[in-house]
Structure 1
Amino acid sequence: MLELRDVRKRYGGVEVLHGVSLSASGGSVLALVGANGAGKSTLIRILSGAVGMDGGEVLLDGAPADLSSPHHAHALGIRTVYQELSLVPQLSVTENLLLGRFPRRYRMIDWTAAHRRAQELLDRAGFGMIDPREPAGRLPVARQQMVEIAKALADEPRVLILDEPSAVLAGSDLDALFRLVRELRRRGVLVVYVSHRLAEVLDLATGIAVLKDGQVVETTEPARTSEAELIRLMAGRRPERIYPPRRSSPGASPGEVRLRVEGLTRPGEFTGVSFELRAGEIVGLFGLVGSGRSELAACVFGASRPSSGTGAYGNPADAIRHGVAMVTEDRAGSGLVLGLAVRDNIGLTTWHGLWIDQARQRRDVASMIERLDIRPPGCAAMPVARLSGGNQQKAVLAKWLLVGPKVLILDEPTRGVDMATRVEIYRMVDGLAREGLAVLLISSDLTEVLGATDRVLVMNQGRITGELPSEGTTEDQVLERAIEA
């Protein structure tokens, strides 16, 4: 169905795709894997019509495909769900799903029919738990991702490109996504699946293309490869230890309390939450979608107000003054200013009043870019939107590290990040904890939340339902507390 022949792309004088050739048939799942910066995002933007090629051709059913714009790609039956959300947050789920194609009656929008059609789209995608009348911006990020997928399915595409669709999903929501991918394959749709979660790639894909430095270095099938081999192909070396060794023996005394939350309540989100963070420890916070984990973090940071309880700051500025930093789960929406350069994004936390010591800011930012190995080299003046997802995440971390925080809240810090960059982030967070920082790590990845932390808090329906030591605890034990009635 789809064939790429010697596809090339350059930005300025730098070629980022060096003659990519691939093919895939209908009713298959082609997985694209590679480290951040390997060229995956550029490739799918070409297929979606968002950027043009500088060489090569794309064929659909053996004929040259006109991909000169997203409109032309849509006309050919190609739809893309990007990693970064593109919903209109002030509009309802129905309005987002049906923008430009509302059912009408007597020249007016037929809202009864519109909500019914939206519910049909959600049900068909397996996301019927979402209320079509709910404002999209009030949904958790994971549910917003589901709406994006349902929107792409509204026109029954022949080729569906999914860019990190599972990055914020867990539990039954993740199961629903996997069922949908298998159902689309049964219907004859070609699914191009981009993911850093290699276990699910091996489970879902019928074919795998490994990209490195803008080239396809291997095409294979799940039965002929393994996670370790894919990592070797992506990184050019054998995988190292993923998680750092434990910083202390079980039962060792942690440092002083850096954050104490008691009885924190925000109606409809969480109730009576209490916990402590101590210097030198990494505490995991796990919960399924709707458990209240991200809402709790935002409230502690001062982005929303509790109705009762203690431990939450009055506003983010107050939290920052007290040495608390927060990396949000939506880096594009609330972590970065996409229109600004990398230098200006990292330096945001150094702005005080109207005057900026620009020389010092440049030195500090350059030091952070080098410390976190933000790529490509010399990217300080580049728009941050041009960086890969992993390097954007590093830029967000760099921004907060310039503050010199005592408490660091990380909400899905490895979302859409390749394994090599994940290892870098884990090591950096481990190093910060060894220096005395208190870290709260929120994640929907159970392996991560147990491997990178000292203890785990489990949330279910807005309450803390368990506190477990990370070492010796199984994923089943955590899930049991996350889903129990």
Structure 2
Amino acid sequence: MTGILVQGVSKSFGETRALTDASLAADMGEVHAIVGENGSGKSTLAKIISGVLAPDGGTVDVLGETPGNPCHARRLGVAPIFQEMMLAEQLSIAENVFAGSDGLLCRTLSAKARNAEAKALLERLSGQAVDPTARVSDLPLHLKQWVVLARAICIQPRVLILDESSAALDLAGTERLHAEIRRLRDGGACILIVTHRIAELVRIADKATVLRDGRTVGTLSKFEITEQNLLKLMSAEKPPAKVQLDPSKTARSSSALVLRCEALQLARETTPFGFELREGEIVGVAGLDGAGHAEFIRTVAGIDLPSSGSVTIFGSHGQSIEIRSIEEAGAAGLSYVSGDRKKEGIFPALSTFENFAMAPYGCHRDRTGLIDAGSLRGSFAREVARLGIKVGPPNDRITSLSGGNQQKVLIARAFAAQPKVIVLNDPARGVDIGTKQELYRQLVAFSQTGGAVIYLSSEIEEFFDFADRVDVFVQTTLHRSLPSRDLSEEALLYAMFGRLADAVSPITVEEMA
């Protein structure tokens, strides 16, 4: 039975044409992926199907009707989860889970009963103990994502739309989400997923519709969903070669030290550890949710202070600066890119150009010390071209861009500040495959000129053929460092679970889920 049928849909926002000729057919009891580069119209199509946007042309049939608005779609059983988390930060977990629920059961539940229901649902989904009365603003990013997922699942949807909903989850969290998707699919629901994670598509999707520049350019069956096929359809060109580190690079041990952590404790009663970063080095950082790798990144960038210990950046002439704030880190030559662009990255009321220019102002002064606007705009144009950012007029608000293109602006801003160290906190969340490969190339080129990189990612495959080593965190401390020659999915997975791959029994499905 066909659950969703979209034919010839078009949608424009002023002069920007988001969709031109988009079509899609998804059956009940099917996981159907929507794939495409940033700005190809994926999120716009998802919002049209969920009744948030009205198409300019074409037809949309969802469960036999055309959703006229989100309330109509919800009555049909459509539960969308969009790329930007829609949460009331000052309310509790339970209040957010049941926000908008208008069924008889939800209306008559007492606060105590709602807390119990929210707690049971969220703990089943996330596998973590939660306090349903906790304020959402105090939660880490991955738990916020589970709150949004719980809100959609609590209505027992017939159509579930997930727009980059695994981007904030680690490997184990993604496995748990996949298990829930399979449960809903096997129960007859239709699941639409928008994601750039190729490994995720290969494992979970039954079909994939590919968009390019607002048009549907192909639909792949389960066994046709490969990175090669997707890239070919998305780009209409030969897929780019994977990034390879230059084997002629000099040994890191002989390179100058640029950053050092000494006796670092990220929280009380945790094991202190040391960390060194040298010129030309690319270090990956990995771990399961709550393992401490995210806290480490924020501490190195000066956002959070450690419980004890120090983070020091070394200048080219031997001077050292201890980092105790993000301002000090920036002044010392460190650029930071957050994966949570809504909370820590963009200034939504400012233009695309103003958002870009926040960091590199100091690099574009004339001889009198004033800002050279022409030089700054030239830098903006170069970075837009280099990263393939799809932008409209530079003075339009940054929120007029797709989520992935907003993230590219933040990456461009970091490069334009001419740093010696770039710290990236899961920067490829919501970014398409081609842009990821271009980002890796730019980081490799940056390292070849002496720059140093610390790169946290929730996608372990991102590290292969890219990082010089991967430092794995367990129980809020540095557990193991894997050099590039030892990197494999198995080795990283075992290290993240605190094991040695050659010393113990295999990790079970139950542990992963």
TM-score, normalised with respect to structure 2? 0.87
- Report the Cα offset of residue 413 of structure 1: 1.7
What does residue range 53-72 of structure 1 map to in structure 2 within 5 Å?
53-63=55-65, 65-67=66-68, 69-72=69-72
Alignment of 1:194-343 (within 5 A): 194-246=194-246, 248=248, 251=251, 253-267=253-267, 271-311=271-311, 313-343=323-353
Aligned pair in 2 of structure 1 residues 442, 200: CA closer, same or farther (>3 Å)?
same
2:151 match? 151
For 1:123 and 1:303, locate their aligned partners in 2 and report how far apart those are by CA, in whole Å: 29
Match in the other structure for 1:49: 51
Q: Could you give the per-residue CA deviations for residues 381-408 of structure 1, whole angstroms, max 9, x where no partner exists?
A: 2221222233222200121222211111
Task: Name the structure 2 match of 1:428.
Answer: 442
Judge conservation of contact 2:51–2:73 (CA < 8 Å) in 1.
Answer: yes
Deviation at 1:103, TM superposition (A): 12
How far residue 233 of structure 1 moved from its aligned partner, in angstroms, is 1.0
Gaps of 5+ in 2: 312-321, 500-513
Which residue matches 1:73? 73
Tell me which residue corresponds to 1:363: 378
Which digits, 9 at most, give the CA deviation of each residue in 1:229-269, with x for residues without a partner?
12111111232322233354585545211110011123269
Task: Name the structure 1 match of 2:425.
Answer: 411
- In structure 1, what residue type is equivalent to 2:383? M
Q: RMSD over aligned Cα, in angstroms? A: 2.6
Counterpart Cα distance in 2 of 1:159 and 1:250: 53
Unaligned 5+ segments in structure 1 are none
Distance 1:298 1:156 in 2: 37
Contact 2:126 2:146 in 1 (8 A): no
CA contact (8 A) 2:339 2:429 kept: yes
The whole-number CA distance in structure 1 between the counterparts of 2:267 and 2:170 is 24
- When structure 1 is superposed on structure 2, of 184-193 and 215-224 the one drifting more is 215-224
Query: Using the alignment, how far apart are the partners of 2:464 and 2:270 within structure 1?
Result: 23
The aligned amino acid for 2:418 is G
Q: Provide TM-score, normalisation by structure 1.
A: 0.92
CA distance in 2, matches of 1:314, 1:252: 27
Aligned residue type for 1:235? S
1:82 equivalent in structure 2: 82
- 1:19 partner SS: strand
Q: Is the 8 A contact 2:266 2:477 kept in 1?
A: no
Deviation at 1:7, TM superposition (A): 1.0
Which of the numbers 368, 390, 393 marks the counterpart of 2:404?
390
CA distance in 2 between counterparts of 1:53 and 1:304 reads 45
In structure 2, do the counterparts of structure 1 residues 155 and 225 end up closer, same or farther at CA, with 3 Å as the change threshold? closer
Deviation at 1:138, TM superposition (A): 3.0
Distance 1:102 1:296 in 2: 42
Q: What letter matches 2:487 in structure 1? A: T
Q: Secondary structure at the match of 1:241?
A: coil
Question: How far apart are residue 108 of structure 1 and its match?
Answer: 12
Counterpart check, 1:13 vs 2:15: yes
CA contact (8 A) 2:242 2:437 kept: yes
* Residue type of the alignment partner of 1:206: D
Aligned CA distance change for structure 1 residues 418 and 62 (closer, same or farther; 3 Å): same
Residues 404, 80 of structure 1: alpha-carbon distance in 2 compared, 3 angstrom cutoff:
same
Which residue identity is paired with 2:345? G
Q: Is the 8 A contact 2:252 2:281 kept in 1?
A: no
Aligned to 1:448: 462
Q: Deviations over 1:143-198 (max 9, x none)?
A: 22122111111222211100112223223212101100100101211100111122
SS across alignment from 1:465: strand
